[in-house]
Structure 1
Amino acid sequence: MAPPHNPHRRLFLGRGAAVAHAAAAAVLLPKAALASLSEEQDLARRLAFNHLHTHERLALVYAQGEQFIPAALPTLNHFLRDHYSGDVGVMDPDLFHLLHRVRQTLQTQQPFEVISGYRSPHTNETLRTTRGGGVARRSLHMDGKAIDVRLPGVSLSDLRDAAISLRAGGVGYYAREQFVHIDTGRVRSW
């Protein structure tokens, strides 16, 4: 004999199934959320710097994948300001991607030691005329497209070779002065 038809029983079972489904989803969501968080962390692009002239330090996530974090760019511009005059320029954001790729290529998390970032036209001209050469009249430092750096624990020649291998701009090797120039201009090396 079939059980008597009970509409309340069906409603109860239907609601029970919905509750069970919601409970299962609640258990699954944290795992999905964790996976999503892990993917976001994998996409996080980090940079770290020690400025040798201002003695400031900076470590930050400047982008998620290819998307720049808007607040990071002014922070980087200020950090890489002309240390002679205090003038803040606008750095080429592609320079940050290039530096990130250099660190990945070298498999290091060491902070870049900054010798020079942005240079005002006045500072550039002063350095050009008082340093006996070595500073370009139309330096890419004035456009925020160049930086002079080194990496602790990485030889200058390895840093130079890593930057050259990326074929993403200019690379200058200054062994006597102990830095490598990296820029987002045309591909060339000296």
Structure 2
Amino acid sequence: MNPPHHAPRRRWLRQAATTTLALALPGLASSARAASLNSGPERALAFAHTHTGERLSLVYAVGDHYLNDSLFSLNHFLRDHYSGEQGVMDPRLFDLLHRLRLELGASQNFEVISAYRSPSTNEHLRATRAGGVAKRSLHMDGRAMDIRLPGVPLADLRQAALSLRLGGVGYYPREQFVHVDTGPVRHW
């Protein structure tokens, strides 16, 4: 068995390989639903991170191709804000957000509350918060984001995400965010 200090590197290499494969073989992921997300030649997103104060606005895909430099910037921007650890975000999550903006007719920046979460951060949050943090959270796989959209009522953001049927949707009105992910279609 390898020493424990190799585990984060192996996890990062596994995630990097998965992203590289997704970028190198975009045709493999083209289903009717994925094709419906690609409405137009360029897909862009804009974010403001509520914990780091950083902002990011970029084109992340053109047609069926994700832009490597943009994905790298997004991975850094959406890093674990507790530890600084960077994960590899699922590009389908960006397509989901892009589609959500189109559905709402919104042009505002998404406010990011949480995106990538390292396993150690996830476990710490589970131990210190009374519920709301899954043991096997999709945040740890770069497949989930907690967001809000200024000027859009939270209930409307939730309803739009539910209507897309592209993954999980969690509604947290007390904390003022909606969770979206690229996992199975479900809601809570």
Distance 2:154 2:64 in 1: 28
- One-letter amino acid of the counterpart of residue 125, structure 1: E
Q: 1:70 deviation in Å?
A: 1.2
Corresponding residue number in structure 1 for 2:140: 142
* Secondary structure in structure 1 of the residue aligned to 2:68: coil
Q: Which runs of 4+ in 1 moved over 4 A?
A: none
Corresponding residue number in structure 2 for 1:170: 168
Q: 1:152 deviation in Å?
A: 0.3
- 1:55 equivalent to 2:48? Answer no
Identity value in percent = 68
Distance 1:68 1:90 in 2: 14
Corresponding residue number in structure 1 for 2:69: 71
Length-normalised TM-score, structure 1:
0.78
1:156-167 equivalence runs, <5 A: 156-167=154-165
Q: 1:156 deviation in Å?
A: 0.5
1:1-190 equivalence runs, <5 A: 42-190=40-188
Q: 1:66 deviation in Å?
A: 2.2
Q: 1:136 deviation in Å?
A: 0.2
Corresponding residue number in structure 2 for 1:33: none
Q: 1:182 deviation in Å?
A: 0.2
Structure having the higher Rg: 1
Distance 1:43 1:110 in 2: 20
* Secondary structure in structure 1 of the residue aligned to 2:107: coil
Length-normalised TM-score, structure 2:
0.78
Note the residue ranges of structure 1 that are not aligned, 5 or more in a row: 1-41
Note the residue ranges of structure 2 that are not aligned, 5 or more in a row: 1-39
Corresponding residue number in structure 1 for 2:28: none
Distance 2:156 2:64 in 1: 26
* Secondary structure in structure 2 of the residue aligned to 1:185: coil
Distance 1:134 1:97 in 2: 25
Aligned-CA RMSD value: 0.6
Q: 1:43 deviation in Å?
A: 1.3
Tell me the alpha carbon deviations over residues 132-165 of structure 1, each in whole angstroms, 9 at most, x when there is no partner. Answer: 1110000000000000000000001110011111
Paired residue total = 149
- One-letter amino acid of the counterpart of residue 163, structure 2: S
Q: 1:82 deviation in Å?
A: 0.1
